[in-house]
Chains A and B, each alone.
Chain A
Amino acid sequence: MSGESTVTTRSKVERSLGKRRRKESIFRILGIASTLVGVLFLLVFFWTLIGQGSSAFLQTFIEIEVEFSEDILAPAGELDLAYADFDAIARNALREKFPDVTSRSERRELNQLISVGAGYQIKDAIAGDPDLLGTTLLMQVPAAANVDMVLKENIDRNLGEDRRPISDSQLEWIDALIADGSLVSKFNVALFTNGDSREPELAGIRGALMGSFYMLLITVALAFPIGAAAAIYLEEFAPKNRWSDLIEVNINNLAAVPSIVFGLLGLAVFINWMSIPRSAPLVGGLVLSLLTLPVIIIAARAAIKAVPPSIREAALGLGASKMQVVFHHVMPLAMPGMLTGTIIGMSRALGESAPLLMIGMVAFIVDVPAGFSDPATALPVQIYLWADSPERAFAERTSAAIIVLLGFLLVMNLAAVIMRKKVERKW
């Protein structure tokens, strides 16, 4: 009897074995395939991003012999920084290179090769050193964005003249400038030192970076202490009853609320009711703290929960008060986990743009914010604004700004991972 039954079980197993193995291998293949698809999309994303964005880190400059002419800069004998025509100085310097260009329309076209930034640079040079008046100086001034685009081959020069933003004669001049070595490609410092601009060659992310920085400062200053305190109270002190369950459900829900809702809340409470100025990093920071609070509370509670009860019991047994147990024993052990949660919350806040739309941070702001109530924008918002600009050269700058944003996110998430690995304790 028993022998027969083993045989049947065994034969059953053997019969189904092939099927089970097949199933397992199909599952494995599907798993590998889905991982590969994910990796592939990521690679394509990085490939296009870097392919488009990397050229924005280089910028074309024109080397010109700038004459700080007294006739133009000091017509009344005195250097007049406010009203002098610095653009004319730049234009004249470029014209020196092309003495045959005489007609008015041709000169206008020639002037378009040079950025308006040239005038600002000349102004800054003479403002810093008034002795330059009457002398000449070899300067590298930014070329217009279209010149830059031709050099980066983002404008196809083989198209008909009416199909490209740059004319045949402008192309000839560009070739002449390349031939005599006056066009130089340098690292695009402006991208990191300037605020926003409508001239692509002058536009930078410094304003947006500072805006994001101030906002995150407020977010961390508010969300971390409040979140940590809430987590400690809920985990260690609060009685377990219907109310604390209700609060717990609400916090978990809040973590899943679409971020735009926090923006609307910020608009209603902080701007309309508390009348904090629109577009200020202060409002942005407050909104982002609301947004990250649930994330931090949840992470902090998990960290506190992970501290083994034996630690608490030992401390209580030695006569420590509840307060002493929490602050002397539980908190130091839970701190790494809480900080990790905070960093992850911060990196989410850094990438948010939707709530900022509602509180006036989608704005053109040139001046770099110097405080919490100056108008500012944030890095993701800057990306959004550039992506919407008609000028061609903003496309590569959009990708470059995304690369910078991703870099920051990577560093923050890496910090969280390293911190977790380094101070993690196994019980």
Chain B
Amino acid sequence: MGAAESARPGEVKIRLRDLHKAFGPNAVLSGVDLDMAAGTSTVIIGGSGTGKSVLLKHVIGLLRPDRGSVEVDGVTVEELAGEALTRFRRKFGMAFQEGALFDSMTVAENVAFPLTRIGSRSRAEIAARVRECLGLVKLEGVEGKMPSELSGGMRRRVGFARAIAHEPEILLFDEPTTGLDPVTKETIDELIIDLKNSLASTLVTISHDMGSVFRIADRVAMLYGGKIIAHETPADLRASRDPRVFEFLRRDLEMWGAARSG
């Protein structure tokens, strides 16, 4: 893999071509084409069960496509195996929907995990980085706690801290703010914006929350019926005449309206 270099900002970092995936009789992805540029933030939207998480898992090689291909920095992911795949994944940080913290480890050990497995930091450097990352997600003094002692929202924030700990080139966030309180939501959004502005990372986020989508996205991609039906800037998306996009945004606005009046 040594020959492959990282894409420079603006160049295509992640390229999905004609991606197909079915689970038994259920076709989830049926021909996804999507390019994501290095140093940009792409948000993938779409209704529940449309396969957004499945799409994300293809990017990092957790799932293999039935047809089509995923390229990251010019490397075809599904051709990687064993050691090469393990090395390839060092580029990535991923935050899972429910946090996916290791429940046999403390919070600090969880956040330190990618640092101990990837890279060559000393113990003191790791401890400092762990504190720093937990500080970024506004969690202090929980280092010694076990995940089971934390609330759902705190677990998610620890998961977020763990994803960014080793400063990966590509960050994948699977619904980072869903179900969080508004204040925490804003914290996470601001973190994502900071990461985006640093231009060092390529971000791919799955979100339901249109409020944060418009804040954090450079480009929004909408998954519908197993395909990407829109891939535009947030402003263009808002002006979209596509009835499927329009419907999705309108529903969301209505939900917001109901939440405000209720």
Chain A complexes with chain B: no
The residues of B with any CB-CB pair to A shorter than 8 Å are none
The residues of A with any CB-CB pair to B shorter than 8 Å are none
